[in-house]
Structure 1
């Protein structure tokens, strides 16, 4: 076949090229392809005219519509800040009872609380507030300084053993040198018995009960349930900051303990501290 001849099978013209009896067809581009190419080209042209598109050194073409994503984002951020300022001011001005009675404010607390907690508290208390060795869990119902939102907010404000002038001081003294090794062992046995249902007391625990009455009740109370005014933990439950094993309790009695929590006044606003206090209380409901 030569150029200009029509292929009898397809009806298309040929190009005149032939390889081993195979003739190349001059097949036209399908019309749908042309249609979409033209539409795409027209769309691109219109977009370049209407929207920001071409770089011009330190600037760019703004487009006839004058749209700017940066301005849009900045406007949205500004609107979000204005909205946040309105309801955050209510956290600062209203008392806890009023806040807890307001479904909108509590919803906002649950939206903002996780990020605020992760940014400021999770490094010590862990994600979800479950604590770890040396750091109390905030997801249970064992509180050293009181469990009301007002008391928690105050702890956040002044800290524990912090540099704040109103800080809360809490320390477990070291009894090594005050008590003998046998007395320490006995009082550990008695402390362990407080959180167990085993009865009657062993001879060692009975001896430890006397040591406890002489040395420990001033902070932990006669029944071992602790005194929040001193930040002394309840020894009758199963919540232990430094571990509840015989060895861990023995080390606590022998060497003492002194935790630290920074004061958040000056670092977090009053509204943020109140929001965090409510969020921490809310963690218990998730358990």
Structure 2
């Protein structure tokens, strides 16, 4: 270790090392810096006493002031709920099929529902509600179980084909791989795009009538009571090309939507239904 020496010019002790002939003087810290440093230490100790700080076995120290960011958020939520209490009461009492879209209550419900949609629904239906393969587009008028405000609210509240709500919308298409031959399935898949102006006397037309019409209707236009899609339009949840139709008929589809009435409040269910309906796809 290099012993420090006394600098001849300043008369101060050096730090005992040099860099390319440059030495560092062992000057004391400025008094203002030391005072600030000690004051910050005192402030830090005081802060840990006044506010939650030190982690313990089952939680952190509470602090003498008892402050909590969660408590602050809870207070804000309570204040927000109190400010909107009258609107929430009105929304719960509102007949969903007689909802004036020009009313302040409708505007409040749509704004609240938009926040719920972005937090809970956009992961499947997309940020713009345009859906994707296997996830319905909420911007069009193709509603499997009805697109009225009350129908939409019911679907959100109880969900689709889930096992947690006895009132969930439910339909189940059989997998025809054990019912029809592959050639017959391919024939029906080729026949479906010709609906409703189809050759019903053809072999494929007879196959469709015998195996599909009981749910999808004689013209393939669907049945909402059964949850059977309209096959005569150009809207397809999984795709309408030959290969996809063959896969759908062969193995069936069974999309599931959770019962949001078990996760959201009734006012939030009504609000998000209002928002979805207001996007333009509702009937």
TM norm. shorter chain > 0.5: yes
| Alpha-carbon distance between aligned partners in 1 of 2:244 and 2:254, rounded to the nearest angstrom | 15
Q: Structure 2 vs 1, CA of residues 215 and 93 (structure 1 numbering), >3 Å: closer, same or farther?
A: same
The separation in 2 between residues aligned to 1:141 and 1:220, in whole angstroms, is 18
Measured after TM superposition, the shift of residue 164 of structure 1 is 0.7
Give a deviation string over 1:211-257, Cα, whole Å, max 9, x none.
Answer: 11111111111111111111111111111111111100110001111
- d(CA) in 1 for partners of 2:198 and 2:269? 46
The Cα of 1:72 is off from its aligned counterpart by 9.6
Distance 1:174 1:75 in 2: 53
Helix, strand or coil at the partner of 1:170: coil
SS in 2 for 1:111: helix
3-state secondary structure, aligned to 1:137: coil
For residues 110-259 of structure 1, the aligned pairs below 5 Å read: 110-162=110-162, 163-194=164-195, 201=199, 206-259=202-255
TM-score if structure 2 supplies the norm length?
Answer: 0.70
Distance 2:281 2:148 in 1: 15
SS at the partner of 1:229?
coil
Distance 1:251 1:216 in 2: 15
Structure 2: unaligned runs, 5 residues or longer: 1-42, 52-68
Flag the structure with larger Rg.
1
CA distance 1:181–1:194, change in 2 (3 Å) = same
- Tell me the TM-score normalised to structure 1 length: 0.69
Higher-RCO chain (CA-CA 8 Å, sequence separation at least 6) = 2
Give the RMSD, CA atoms, in angstroms: 2.8
Q: Measure the CA separation in 2 of the matches of 1:273 and 1:87.
A: 14
- Distance (whole Å) between structure 2 residues aligned to residue 126 and residue 139 of structure 1: 11
Q: 2: CA distance between counterparts of 1:210 and 1:265?
A: 43
* 8 Å contact from structure 2 (residues 138, 281) kept in 1: no
Are 1:190 and 1:206, in contact at CA under 8 Å, matched by a contact in 2?
no
The residue matched to 1:145 in structure 2 has which SS? coil
Alignment of 1:282 with 2:244, yes or no, is no
Any unmatched runs of 5+ in structure 1? 1-53, 61-69
